[in-house]
Amino acid sequence: MTALVFIALALAGGLGAIARFLLDGAMGRRFQTAFPWATFTINVSGSLALGLLTAMAAGNVVPREWALILGTGFLGGYTTFSTNSYETLRLLGEKRYAASFANAFGTLAASVGAAALGFWLGGLA
């Protein structure tokens, strides 16, 4: 990896984190519910994008360096498994067992499904 790719990867990670922060804030203001819809949306959309990007990189549609910068950098900064884990524990602490289960396993199922859909769509490119 060149120094330029390394710097771009780091900057992309920061931009992904900023995008997550902005989307989380916008959704939090618009949809004020106890269920963490913003984190769910962020993780599922990031998984879709990563699946798409991965398939396009595998098909040589996207250069390897760009896949690294966008996938590991931007999408790595954008998605957030740790926040999903925290919110699952928060819901458990509030004795919202169904919501906790839905958050943990619903996010996992939807994210894997979105990644598979993205990979399939990327294979069409």
Summarised one tens digit per residue, pLDDT across range 34-63 is 899 999 999 999 999 999 999 999 999 999
Q: What is the predicted pLDDT for the residue at 37?
A: 96
Q: Which residues contact 74 (CB under 8 A, 6 or more apart)?
A: 12, 13, 15, 16, 19
Binding residues for Na(+): 76, 79
Q: What is the predicted pLDDT for the residue at 13?
A: 98
Give the torsion through C-alpha atoms of 86, 82, 15, 74, to 10 deg.
Answer: -150
Binding residues: 76, 79
Element (H, E) at 46: helix 37-58
Residue 125 has pLDDT above 80, yes or no: no
DSSP 3-34: HHHHHHHHHHHHHHHHHHHHHHHHHHHH---S
The candidate with the shortest Cα–Cα distance to 69, out of 90, 96, 86, 50, is: 50
- Tell me how far apart the alpha carbons of residues 108 and 44 are, in angstroms, rounded to a whole number: 9
On the 0-12 / 13-18 / 19+ scale of CB atoms within 10 A, 3 is: exposed
Q: What is the pLDDT of residues 91-108, one digit of tens each?
A: 999 999 999 999 999 999
pTM for the full predicted model: 0.93
